[in-house]
Structure 1
Amino acid sequence: MKRKLVAILSADVQGYSRLMSVDEEATVRTLTAYKEVMGNLIRQYGGRVVDAPGDNLLAEFSSVVDAVQCGVDIQKELKGRNAGLPQDRRMEFRIGINLGDVLEEGEKIFGDGVNIVARVERLSEPGGVCISGTVYDQVKNRLPFGFQSLGEHVVKNISEPVRVYRVLMEPGVTKAGKGLRIEARGKKALVLGILALLLVVAAVAVWRLYVRPTPPPVEAASKEKMAYPLPDKPSIAVLPFANMSDDPGQEYFIDGMTDDLITDLSKISGVFVIARNSTFTYKGKDVKIKQVAEELGVRYVLEGSVRKAGEQVRINAQLIDAMKGYHLWAERYDGSMEDIFALQDKITQKIVSALAVKLTGNEKELIAKKGTDNVAAYDAFLRGRGHYLRLTPEDFAKAQASFKRAIELDPNYGRAYAALSAVYWDASVMPVLLKDLGISWYEVRVRTIRCLEKATEGPIAHSVKSQRYLWRRQHQEAISEMEQALALDPNDPTSLYHMGYTLTFAGRPKEAVEFFKKGMRLDPHNPSRYLTGLGRAHFSMGELEEAVRLYEKAMRLNPETAPWAWGWCLAAFHALLGRDQEGRALIETLKKEKFTKAGTYNLRYIMNNAPYKDRAVAERLVEGLLKAGLSPAPIRGGYFPAFEENRLTGEEIKRLFLGSTITGHIFYPQQFWMTFQKNGEFTWRGPGSIPSDTGKVRIEGNMFCWKYEKKWWGAEFCGTVFRYPGGTPEGKDEYFWCTDLGFSAFSPVR
């Protein structure tokens, strides 16, 4: 055994036997929940629960200041929870805290320090905190609480009496950061102290009645009316915070704060968090908490408001248990813009504590990461994210400008780089979004690569990397990136969607179904993309009628964007079922769509963006598209058959490239030549006025990567190589590569 000096907190339930005699099962449930809350707060303050038998709890802290602050926060938290219970069912703890020497054996502690804290605890009132004199001496000028002396008390087997103080936790008790201390220093001092205390009590009563009234109860939600079954863990919907500022232009900032709060909570595996896309459907609407809970299938709802005036911010937030119809807590947070990250953290921690959720060490670290300390950069980031989510060419241009501004203000802002990479990648797969960016398709691909080099390792970056791998037909690598994304944010519906999408193309559609369903449960008001994901998975499993049903439902729910995003797939499904006319009508409609870039809809374009690993599934889709009237591209077979059976290994790529010259077409009939040295250095030359260039290639696994001296802004891009069935030396198409910058056919020069 070894000795150590620690702060010890002891707590037990007042009237526990009475509570058990009234309703044993309910008492045990409440005790378990309250101990969970206490344990969570103790860990947040750096403490450790030593033992928790029956209705008792013993904890130790390395900091006595943290121990007292934790004890006060525990009582405040439990007071809020008790407010929603009938008077005779409320469970109140007494808490005592001592600083003393203990003996440690394994996980247990013993000794005089423990004996003293037990005595101090028994002097506490239910819902109160008492401390020993050794604690008082350390914290009297360090905490914003008052302290009332309860005199000296004898403790069994302790030679000297122990001084005991009551912690005065109510607002108004403190003055200039120093506690009010009432000690027996003569009759006059005692009388003055009592008068002062009475004034304080009166002030507190006025404050409670008039300044900060208890929030009114809300109508409780009905479990029977829930649109979805309640999850088996705490579930919450964070409603868009209301803009109480005079400036409507602050909407982006307030929406961004709400979004960040959702993002932080969604990183916690022990909480079920409804996605932003679904909660923001209530923005600006006067909805009842009951309605929100029943429509989204959650127990808890957070709502609030933000007032931003100059550099000052006021946040009001309240967490509501919709099933019981009462507020777990309601708080106001004031600070400057420089404090914004700390204010957000306080709200998140308060929610976590109220829901009695345990955070892993990794989750604590993830929540603490904000990416920047530069408030102006954060403001620009929020502005950019607001534009990015609108998914229009104009907003994408504004998102690009805002994210670039955030990076200018903080060149190390990895989160802004990740967001900018998503802007560029999305613009490359939805060419209509390129319209106002002012750059070419090739440049957005290159910029995606450059941004990812500096991006934070978060769900956004992993998702973009996954899509790059999928484009290059590196299916396992794409899955690995999505696994990392979900490890960082298990509640992110976008990551769940992309995992389902990736698994479907990788030939694992049955597994994909569960990811699409989970994403839709977290994002119930935005079901279209999950429905189409499910439809694609069912198509891959040969279930065409179900695929059609799901796609048609998605298009009914989202008629604005669904046709141009997913209509070509539905056209193929109709044609495969013998409904060629319906398929052809849909293809013709797509060709006239305002979102469709001229020449976009041919077989090559569609199949480049449909990276199926399974050749049979891909060929079935091609058959349907051709029957529906989609034109083949002017290349061999109408599209590039990038299937596993045609892929070259790394050794085959080396033999094909190193020490050889290849030639092919950039865009038919524009021809290019590349001559490779044995060491990987190469020379590139193109037709006519296009300048020549040099560079170096490296081969890694079954992938090649190359970097030009002048072209493509110095970015290294990678790809895979495939045999082109039926290709000929004359056609310069015996092989083709699939790189970040697209597909090209080529042949070796013999």
Structure 2
Amino acid sequence: MAEGSVQRRLAAILAADVVGYSKLVAADETAALSQLARLRREVVEPAIHRHEGRLFKAMGDGFLAEFASPVRALECAIAIQNGTTGMRLRIGIHLGDVVADQDDLLGDGVNLAARLEGIAAPGGITISRPLYDQVRDRVKAAFSDKGEVSLKNLPRPIQVFSVQTTPAPAATAYPALPDKPSIAVLPFQNMSGDSEQEYFADGMVEDIITALSRFTTLFVIARNSSFTFKGKPVDVRQVGRELGVRYVLEGSVRRSGDRLRITAQLIDAAMNKHVWAERLDGSAGDIFDLQDALTAKIVNSVSLWVEKAELERVRIKPTVDLDAYELYVKGMALQRYERRFEEAYRHFVQAFTLDPGYAAAYAMAGYTLCFQHISYGSPIPPDVRAEALRLAQKVAVLPHEDAHALARAAHILSFIGQQYDLAKELVDRAIVLNPSHGYCWMSRGWVSINYGDADLAIDCFTRVLRLDPLDPHQAYAWTGLACAYNCLEQYEAGFQWALKAVEAHPLMYTLAYLVINAVPAGRTAEARDAFAKMLRMRPDLTVRDALQLCLTKDTDWLERMARTFREIGLPE
């Protein structure tokens, strides 16, 4: 340091670091670097600027910022954590004396902030006692006293506090465009004049979405969000903004007897211009070839980096039997739209009877069997459980590359079979096969919960919310986030996600996740209200029953949940 350039001052130092960055780089270095750059550009640097701070050092996956105000430092940390998706950060903040050398800061004040960051929970904030004393009555946040902690290279223990943040997404913000070509495929109009053909048109569009989502070079909006526009007049520019995509595909299907006509147009929503329009004619038996032709045209139009092998792999179909295919898509329509589960189940069974290699039909038959029980928390009868597991295990051994089938089977095996290792193997395969499939990430999130990996679960559910931003069933991801944050003992964050889930779907399992977060978060009134609703649904509910809604191989976490249910008054 040059003489005369050194100054001392009191400052609030914020230190942050990306959780598991080395693992992310090892998995996909290009994607990790791009995501980190976007995180700094879109979240970190704007938050520091808004809160009157100064970023004085960025190194690798971490950074240091200085604030004159301890309040603004903590508000900035909360804003960063609430705005971060995908990657997760640890943040530490200390108020202390620092040494300034031109634009750099040194000294124990900086070192202590870095040490606090190192002991923060993933997605969490840890602060020192000096900073806590300045912010405790000035920042709306929940604080948890962690006592005195010995930190590396410090002569004596210091008292630290964790800050409970609430990382709920902003309701009004439009998603940013991804850093690769992005597309939404809207439901095609059924031009057949026959309402019975609606399921056929929907199934065909879903197949196109699934095929596109298998390309690693594309970002594809999941089916549930695309289908929120079904039957509505569409402003393509607004669709692009709401879904955060550049391209939108819309079209129609006309089926008359054995003849089939598909029309489609690809629109650059960002520029509000047509890229191309296409008309494909053939027989109903040609549907798979027509889908392939349309998929290839879309991909070749929007991506310059498609490999031939990738295109060939997409041509592999779940079935080539048109009758089995029609039974399957009809079963999906019955399950999704009409909630006629027994009838849907029969359609799936008929489909795999016609084609014994139809993995998706086995998976959906198993999932439909236990869907009502999973949703409403009622015990699954032993014969239903056994049959659902048999069907899921069939998916595991069939030779196929159907990511959706693998993800469905993994969910069943993990949740009702506690076959955690097999479930993890299947869902990891599904993500490799179909990296933009929303349900695959949803299933991986729940399998990760059951496996006891809360950090991975949060990443998965966050991806679901981006891939499926308008999904009317987002409560499943919100519930997963409530569960994962409970595992990390970030109860206020877990409570806020559970509250959103309960408001959307006040079911047994969402209420259970509200209780396990509300009690340790000190939200007594909310906990008792949710508990009373659970008892109205099942007056004979026990701790053992409640834990069936929160299954995990993490025995310590299970015991914490059991203690919470006992505390609220649930009998063994």
TM-score (norm. length: structure 1): 0.50
- 1:359 matched residue in structure 2: 306
SS at match of 2:325: helix
Matched residues in 2 for 1:562 and 1:540: separation? 22
- 1:69 matched residue in structure 2: none
Q: Quick one: structure 1 residues 290 and 321, their matched pair in 2 at CA, closer, same or farther if it must change by over 3 Å?
A: same
2:545 aligned with 1:605, yes or no? yes
- The amino acid that maps onto 1:629 is G
Deviation readout 1:686-716 (Å, 9 max, x if unpaired) = xxxxxxxxxxxxxxxxxxxxxxxxxxxxxxx
Specify the structure having the higher radius of gyration (Cα).
Answer: 1
Q: Which runs of 5+ in 2 are unaligned?
A: 1-171
- 1:570 matched residue in structure 2: 514
Matched residues in 2 for 1:554 and 1:483: separation? 26
- 2:502 matched residue in structure 1: 555
- The amino acid that maps onto 2:485 is H
- The amino acid that maps onto 1:583 is A
2:476 aligned with 1:536, yes or no? no
- 2:106 matched residue in structure 1: none
- 2:242 matched residue in structure 1: 295
2:429 aligned with 1:484, yes or no? yes
SS at match of 2:463: helix
Q: Pick the aligned partner of 1:629 from 565, 569, 572.
A: 569
Matched residues in 2 for 1:493 and 1:408: separation? 28
Q: Verify the 8 A CA contact 2:258 2:283 in the aligned structure 1.
A: yes
- 2:22 matched residue in structure 1: none
Q: Pick the aligned partner of 1:325 from 254, 265, 272.
A: 272
Q: Quick one: structure 1 residues 413 and 501, their matched pair in 2 at CA, closer, same or farther if it must change by over 3 Å?
A: closer
CA-CA distance at 1:587 after TM superposition: 2.3
Trace 1:348-387 onto structure 2 (pairs within 5 A): 348-360=295-307, 362-387=309-334
Deviation readout 1:695-747 (Å, 9 max, x if unpaired) = xxxxxxxxxxxxxxxxxxxxxxxxxxxxxxxxxxxxxxxxxxxxxxxxxxxxx
Matched residues in 2 for 1:473 and 1:332: separation? 48
Q: Pick the aligned partner of 1:275 from 222, 233, 242.
A: 222
CA-CA distance at 1:535 after TM superposition: 1.8
Q: Quick one: structure 1 residues 613 and 545, their matched pair in 2 at CA, closer, same or farther if it must change by over 3 Å?
A: same
CA-CA distance at 1:386 after TM superposition: 1.6
2:502 aligned with 1:521, yes or no? no
- The amino acid that maps onto 1:521 is R
- 1:264 matched residue in structure 2: 211
- The amino acid that maps onto 1:573 is N
- 2:71 matched residue in structure 1: none
Trace 1:674-685 onto structure 2 (pairs within 5 A): none
CA-CA distance at 1:244 after TM superposition: 1.1
CA-CA distance at 1:525 after TM superposition: 1.0
2:534 aligned with 1:587, yes or no? no
- 1:615 matched residue in structure 2: 555
Q: Quick one: structure 1 residues 562 and 485, their matched pair in 2 at CA, closer, same or farther if it must change by over 3 Å?
A: farther
CA-CA distance at 1:300 after TM superposition: 0.3
Matched residues in 1 for 2:373 and 2:396: separation? 15
CA-CA distance at 1:417 after TM superposition: 2.2
Number of aligned residues: 398
Q: Verify the 8 A CA contact 2:427 2:440 in the aligned structure 1.
A: yes
Trace 1:158-169 onto structure 2 (pairs within 5 A): none
Matched residues in 1 for 2:186 and 2:492: separation? 37
Matched residues in 1 for 2:395 and 2:226: separation? 30
Q: Verify the 8 A CA contact 1:424 1:445 in the aligned structure 2.
A: no
2:345 aligned with 1:345, yes or no? no
SS at match of 2:184: strand
Select the structure that is richer in helix: 2
Matched residues in 1 for 2:407 and 2:500: separation? 26
- 2:402 matched residue in structure 1: 458
Q: Quick one: structure 1 residues 355 and 555, their matched pair in 2 at CA, closer, same or farther if it must change by over 3 Å?
A: same
CA-CA distance at 1:286 after TM superposition: 0.5
- The amino acid that maps onto 2:558 is A
- 1:142 matched residue in structure 2: none
Matched residues in 2 for 1:370 and 1:610: separation? 36
Q: Verify the 8 A CA contact 1:416 1:455 in the aligned structure 2.
A: no
Q: Verify the 8 A CA contact 1:417 1:455 in the aligned structure 2.
A: no
Matched residues in 2 for 1:509 and 1:362: separation? 35
Q: Verify the 8 A CA contact 1:500 1:511 in the aligned structure 2.
A: yes
TM-score (norm. length: structure 2): 0.64
Q: Which runs of 5+ in 1 are unaligned?
A: 1-224, 633-750
Most deviating of 321-330 and 562-571: 562-571
Q: Quick one: structure 1 residues 447 and 228, their matched pair in 2 at CA, closer, same or farther if it must change by over 3 Å?
A: closer
Trace 1:295-314 onto structure 2 (pairs within 5 A): 295-314=242-261
Trace 1:430-469 onto structure 2 (pairs within 5 A): 430=375, 440-450=384-394, 453-454=397-398, 456-467=400-411, 468-469=413-414
CA-CA distance at 1:252 after TM superposition: 0.7
SS at match of 2:469: coil
Q: Pick the aligned partner of 2:187 from 236, 240, 253.
A: 240
Matched residues in 2 for 1:253 and 1:287: separation? 21
Deviation readout 1:623-682 (Å, 9 max, x if unpaired) = 2222233332xxxxxxxxxxxxxxxxxxxxxxxxxxxxxxxxxxxxxxxxxxxxxxxxxx
- 2:446 matched residue in structure 1: 501
Matched residues in 2 for 1:504 and 1:416: separation? 26
- 1:424 matched residue in structure 2: 369
Matched residues in 2 for 1:503 and 1:415: separation? 22
CA-CA distance at 1:282 after TM superposition: 0.7
Q: Which has the higher contact order (CA 8 A, sep 6+)?
A: 2
Deviation readout 1:300-358 (Å, 9 max, x if unpaired) = 00000111111111111000001111110001111110111111111101101111343
Q: Verify the 8 A CA contact 1:497 1:519 in the aligned structure 2.
A: yes
SS at match of 2:436: coil
Q: Quick one: structure 1 residues 352 and 446, their matched pair in 2 at CA, closer, same or farther if it must change by over 3 Å?
A: closer
- The amino acid that maps onto 1:506 is Y
- 2:21 matched residue in structure 1: none
Q: Verify the 8 A CA contact 2:519 2:568 in the aligned structure 1.
A: yes
Trace 1:655-666 onto structure 2 (pairs within 5 A): none
Q: Quick one: structure 1 residues 429 and 291, their matched pair in 2 at CA, closer, same or farther if it must change by over 3 Å?
A: same
Matched residues in 2 for 1:569 and 1:432: separation? 12
Trace 1:62-101 onto structure 2 (pairs within 5 A): none
- The amino acid that maps onto 2:552 is Y
Q: Verify the 8 A CA contact 1:531 1:553 in the aligned structure 2.
A: yes
Matched residues in 2 for 1:578 and 1:563: separation? 22
Deviation readout 1:202-230 (Å, 9 max, x if unpaired) = xxxxxxxxxxxxxxxxxxxxxxx970110
Trace 1:113-128 onto structure 2 (pairs within 5 A): none
Q: Quick one: structure 1 residues 427 and 589, their matched pair in 2 at CA, closer, same or farther if it must change by over 3 Å?
A: closer
Most deviating of 383-392 and 295-304: 383-392
Aligned-residue sequence identity (percent) comes to 34
Q: Verify the 8 A CA contact 2:458 2:481 in the aligned structure 1.
A: yes
Trace 1:380-399 onto structure 2 (pairs within 5 A): 380-390=327-337, 392=339, 395-399=340-344
Q: Verify the 8 A CA contact 1:319 1:351 in the aligned structure 2.
A: yes
Matched residues in 1 for 2:464 and 2:548: separation? 26
Matched residues in 1 for 2:558 and 2:280: separation? 55
CA-CA distance at 1:456 after TM superposition: 3.7
CA-CA distance at 1:434 after TM superposition: 9.6
- The amino acid that maps onto 2:571 is S
